[in-house]
Structure 1
Amino acid sequence: MSAVSSLNFRELSEEMNLRVAKGEVPASALPNLKSALRAFLTSFGLSEDSSVGSILRRAYYRNLRLHVERLQAEGREKSYIANRKSLMGKWCSLVTHLDRVAAATTNCMTPFQSMLHELLNQSQTTIAGLARAVGISKSTLGGWVRGTMPNPRAIPSLKRLERFFAMAPDALVALAFERKSFKPVASGPAVNIQYRERLGRITKDAFRLKQVSDSLAQEWSEFVIHKTEKLPDLRRYSRGVWVATDLVTEAETAKNWYCYTKGKYVPTAHITWGHVASFLGWLSRARELGGAGLACCDVQTLAWFSNKQMSRRYMKWLIARAEDKVHNGVLDFAKFVAALNHPQHGYLTQMPELQERLPEAHRPAVWREACEEAYAWASEMKKNLAVAGIEHSREPMAPIKSVLELDDPLEAVADMTTRMKSCRPTTGGLDEAVWARDLLLIKLMASNPLRAKNMKLLTYRSDNSGNLYRRPDGSWFIRIEKRAFKNAKGAAKTRDYDMPVNRVVWSDIERYLNAYRPMLPDADKVDYVFLSSSDEKPEGYVGTWKSLNRRIFYLTRRYLWDCPGIGSHGFRYIIGTATLKKAPGAWDAAAAVLHDEVETVKAHYAHLRSSDGGNYVHTLLDSAFARM
């Protein structure tokens, strides 16, 4: 396509003049078209003598996005920006048209065909492999690559190709058709997760207690102190101790006061307060909405957890709200009620003075008897629910089902990073620093699938005293104290984490730390590896990257094929599954990379474990089966 490879913007402008002369473009639109093009060129430091190159071709949608962001920063109105996008779309369409004409004249590849070849080279795959991954007929894709142009019925397939390569919506469709001949098609992932849909509905109907009285706040604070201090005044079960830690991802505020004590963060308090706020919120929920209908001022006490009748009604409502599923939240609530009312070391059993804070109509005659009754009922519920089995209202592996079904699920992550590399910003500066940070984050999650909290708290120091450190031989490792893990009382209690980073990630680490991290805000104030960009953190906030998990969700939704988005924990499923598919029965290896107990891994990956015996038998009998 040498005929258009040297096309510059002056020549492009003259082509638009010809369209006006032929009546194909209204003369009244020409001044606005020329003005839009001049502003677009100025924003990128270009002139009319600059080559069109990829600016209005391969990189058009990315450049348009940057141009729009600059207009927004200037305070332009939405109508002005929409008009500018429409005008620039006409220039892009003209370039595509000229490229098609040149291709037909010189017998070269069309813009659409050229893009397909570029995508195949970029992904380092075959036509058959790409067709299989995207869900397109091999013969159809092969025909397009050889020069056959798609018909309008192929638009959904083109949209899947766009999503697979993380291209802007309509980037391929616009190359295949004249802009006026196609209608935009929604480009979001087609995967629907029932749990997320239900969660979206019920979260609009929030019922947690919003107004917390000073008396309830004091009750809760005293309870947290009882669960965390080394020498409590009341009896406490040996396994009922809560850990307070200084390893926190966010500072104490008026909104998260309930999970702090004496300046330290208490993870279990964070979880348990959810049960308290939900139960007390349900008590004050209107009867016509399924609640108990009590006044908000009457529910401000932990003493309600010794009311068996209300606890039972609440659990029934929870089950109905979850579409008749008995999920872990229901079982956890029963466990909490039983623990609070234990005859010997239950906190409420030892705090009879709390009964005076209940409304008189709901105040028990004998406090200890009420606690014993609540304990007996909750204990029975725990046993019954355990026997009946818990129904998971959420299937954690559902969003990545298509990934986990691959022979090697890690290949999907490799494809993801390839697509991320192709979207590297050309403008440099902060945008490129964010791109390098995101790429390192995904590759490090694949190499060392840690939980989001551990990733947020990951540190680097030039003297190698941080969590991420470099050994004398040039290899990179991650070391984390066992107390920093969620399972510090389980798998992590016997060993610290000190694991190698895959060598493929080493260059990304060094490039990010040396060139890109210093560009990000607060790089000189904190030693965390991953930092927020200016628009990812509250004004004035200095600390960990609070929205790290949301960023992973966005990146996987955009770049991980056929995935509606997952958090950091999804990478643990991918790596665990990939390990066990490559080495069936290697439970110790999977547990090591996940820093978890072997039995826990076996429980989570039972779908793989159940097939081990069958695969082993088939291997033994291969010679006989070969004759069949």
Structure 2
Amino acid sequence: MTQSLAWYGLRSPYSYTVKGTITPWSCIPVASPPQLGENELETTYSQLQEAHRDRLNTEKGEVSEQVLRNHTSVLKSFLVFCNKTMENRVGREFTFDFIKQVSAYGELAGTHNRKTAADKVSILRAWKKTVDLATRVAKLKPVAGPSLFHKELRAAIAMSGQTTPDITKAIHTAPLTIQGWLNGEFPFKRGLPALRRLEAHLGLERGHLESKLEYPRKDLNVTIQQSGDKYMERMRANRQDPFYLKSGAFTPELTAEWFALMRYKTAEHTVGLRRTARGVWRALPIDKVGADLGSNKLCHPAPGLACPSAERNLLTVRSYLGFLAKSRSENVATSGLGLPDDHVQTLGMLVIPEFVNAFFEFMKARSGNIVHNGHNNVAGAICNLTRPDDGYLWQQPAFLAKVETYAKGRSWRELCDETYRLCKSWQQASLGKKSRDPRAPLLTLLSLADPLGPFKNAIKKLDMAAARCAPGSAFQATYKRDALLLALALSNPLRHRTLTITKYVAPGVVSEYETNLFQTEKGSWRLQFFSGDFKNDRSKQIEYDAPLPQALSKRIEEYLAEYRPVLVRRNPTAPWVFPNLHGNKHKDVGQLIATIAQNYIPEVGRLRMHALRHIVATDFLNRNPGQYTVIASLLHDNLETVLKHYAHRKVESAFKAHEEHLKGFFDGI
């Protein structure tokens, strides 16, 4: 799972609980689990079909209906040979007598076609594997544990005759790791080496326990040919060379400068300084911003408030000052200016034009020598601060004393004016340019006859994964949460921040929060948001009140009644519809969408909420040409913005209409 997981006491950070209480260690059986009867299992062959389908889908990805029909046909043929039917219970022909019976069946089938006989035997072995799994599950039924993994672990340790302290010491792991697993926790990926050492120590086959873990896995059986993504390659390379000035490294002087700027930007009215209407940063209640912003004190202009614009501008400041302090190298893409740390810790550095220009060149080099929208954003932020008459820094001549070493005899106003003109020039150069084509990762998906089909399959896979989990477990709840999130994001494609802060307060519950998800008297479900819940108040004056599809009603009710309570069990008053494992606000629902896509939608290279909104809009316009007003309502966006981003669809629709108009004109020419 992608969520950060709790540590428990002295236990290593390799596990987390999926069920609150289970039978204590003292109740682990000291003898082998009871054996089933020799002749028959409790399951019929008809009932076995569903288990067989699930196993094949889990191990091989989505198998076709034809493959399943072939498997069923061979099974029925074999049962006729054994004088059985699909309604009989699974018996000796698939347990003790399997080799003898399959050999005789294969010999008979081979008299006509040896290749066909070999295929049938191979299919019967696949059925045998399903029977063995069902048999093992039945054998472990008396063993305590919330899942097959825990049952297998308990049985293996019981049969070894060793104590947990002895095993812990032998495999060199933290004292409470194995005890935690026995108490209902799952190892997660950093704990797999310890789990593999445990398998080896207990004499188990490699993967015996690991294969029972129920992590979401990417479908590796669907291969999509995609061209190399140069943007992602650059991003991976850049992440290996971090340079941002850490927030915790801010000096008290820089911190004071930053808070003074933020107070000026967020104040209802400024005193002694000029500010334009567009120069205001809005502050929002903590519950209406993402978890990262909510915990970043440098973006809190007042108690209980957070400022999204401050977060974006703080990143600009941290990246610029970090570049100034970064050591020099011969490569422009990795070289900073190497200035002393104590020199760069002031906002006054933003008005030194030589340094600002060097930073833009650095950004360009790190983007493959492409001038892009990132330049426009940074240049715009600095222009706002250095603009003549009403720029914040332009009105702070006292800052000159902090950067006089680099001023080269210029006055404060001269520095601001020169920097302002420079940034305007970079803005012009970057206008409309991008460092990547945002549509490139989506081309394969959008070329499908039904671009939304893979999303439907992903929801089905998440439901199947939940069905395989222990009832009441956190794993099961997270799969159900992710399935509802994906379904809701397709039906009501809002931005990721809005989905992150979506709240649910049950009727009759007294809460400090207002619910966004609610059920009407007629039983239908709706989403309601207010202007402050959206990205930009100026462009979102209309409140959002929209229905959810009737087909989602059962899924919503089931999630709220059965699965969400598991996620908020440690924080029962939490209002978040899509909380993390601790019941707190999820860090970023957009990243959760990306993880779901990575694991369950192989047709797309990468996917965030912005891309999902684009897919929904494009698919709708393909099916309903010209319906731009509808798309604006669906995305809760301005019509002007929709027309700007989807103008190419108007051209395509026009030519398709013209082609229809000319139908038959070119015949015979």
- TM-score scaled to structure 2, two decimals? 0.67
Asked whether the 8 Å contact 2:324–2:344 carries over to 1, the reply is yes
Pair 1:361–1:258, CA change in 2 (3 A): same
2:374 is aligned with 1:329? yes
AA matched with 1:609: K
Aligned to 1:208: 244
Q: CA deviation at 1:499?
A: 1.1
2:515 is aligned with 1:466? yes
Aligned to 1:221: 259
Q: CA deviation at 1:622?
A: 2.7
Correspondence 1:545-584 to 2 at 5 A:
545-584=586-625
Distance 1:471 1:617 in 2: 46
Distance 2:208 2:96 in 1: 12
Q: CA deviation at 1:278?
A: 0.8
Distance 2:264 2:320 in 1: 21
C-alpha RMSD over aligned residues:
3.7
Q: CA deviation at 1:447?
A: 0.3
Q: Secondary structure at the match of 2:528?
A: strand
Correspondence 1:147-226 to 2 at 5 A:
192-210=228-246, 211-226=249-264
Distance 1:9 1:87 in 2: 28
Aligned to 1:280: 321
Aligned to 2:396: 351
Tell me which of 525, 540, 547 is aligned to 1:500. 547
Q: Secondary structure at the match of 2:521?
A: coil
Q: CA deviation at 1:325?
A: 0.7
Q: CA deviation at 1:409?
A: 2.0
2:343 is aligned with 1:298? yes
Distance 1:336 1:87 in 2: 53
Per-residue CA distance 1:169-215 (angstroms, 9 max, x = gap): 68xxxxxxxxxxxxxxx979866432122101101101111221111
Q: CA deviation at 1:396?
A: 2.5
Pair 1:558–1:607, CA change in 2 (3 A): farther
Asked whether the 8 Å contact 2:544–2:636 carries over to 1, the reply is yes
Aligned to 2:301: 261
Asked whether the 8 Å contact 1:409–1:574 carries over to 2, the reply is yes
Pair 1:65–1:400, CA change in 2 (3 A): farther
Identity %: 26
Correspondence 1:73-88 to 2 at 5 A:
73-74=181-182, 77-81=195-199, 84-86=204-206, 88=208
2:465 is aligned with 1:423? yes
Aligned to 1:230: 268
Pair 1:41–1:626, CA change in 2 (3 A): same
Asked whether the 8 Å contact 1:425–1:435 carries over to 2, the reply is no
Aligned to 1:124: none
Pair 1:458–1:244, CA change in 2 (3 A): same
Tell me which of 401, 412, 418 is aligned to 1:367. 412
Asked whether the 8 Å contact 1:469–1:477 carries over to 2, the reply is yes
Q: Which runs of 5+ in 1 are unaligned?
A: 20-36, 51-61, 93-164, 171-185, 535-541
Distance 1:212 1:218 in 2: 10
Distance 1:417 1:225 in 2: 45
Distance 2:337 2:590 in 1: 36
Q: CA deviation at 1:363?
A: 6.3
2:279 is aligned with 1:240? yes
Pair 1:166–1:350, CA change in 2 (3 A): closer
Q: CA deviation at 1:572?
A: 0.3
Aligned to 2:437: 395
Q: Secondary structure at the match of 1:469?
A: strand
Q: Secondary structure at the match of 2:613?
A: helix
Pair 1:576–1:168, CA change in 2 (3 A): closer
Tell me which of 475, 486, 490 is aligned to 1:446. 490
Distance 2:555 2:549 in 1: 11
Pair 1:449–1:8, CA change in 2 (3 A): farther
Asked whether the 8 Å contact 1:340–1:347 carries over to 2, the reply is yes
Q: Secondary structure at the match of 2:395?
A: coil
- TM-score scaled to structure 1, two decimals? 0.71
Aligned to 2:661: 620
Correspondence 1:14-93 to 2 at 5 A:
44=137, 46=139, 73-74=181-182, 77-81=195-199, 84-86=204-206, 88=208
Aligned to 2:34: none
Asked whether the 8 Å contact 1:190–1:562 carries over to 2, the reply is no
Pair 1:80–1:355, CA change in 2 (3 A): same
Pair 1:472–1:261, CA change in 2 (3 A): same
Q: Secondary structure at the match of 1:605?
A: helix
Distance 1:257 1:48 in 2: 51
Pair 1:504–1:67, CA change in 2 (3 A): farther
Aligned to 1:315: 360
Aligned to 1:134: none
Asked whether the 8 Å contact 1:228–1:243 carries over to 2, the reply is yes
2:453 is aligned with 1:411? yes
Distance 2:284 2:601 in 1: 35
Q: Secondary structure at the match of 1:428?
A: coil
Farther-moved stretch of structure 1 (415-424 vs 256-265): 415-424
Q: Secondary structure at the match of 2:537?
A: coil
Distance 1:49 1:500 in 2: 47
Aligned residue pairs total 498
Pair 1:41–1:312, CA change in 2 (3 A): same
AA matched with 2:528: R
Correspondence 1:87-166 to 2 at 5 A:
88=208
Distance 1:85 1:191 in 2: 39
Distance 1:446 1:460 in 2: 19
Q: CA deviation at 1:544?
A: 1.0
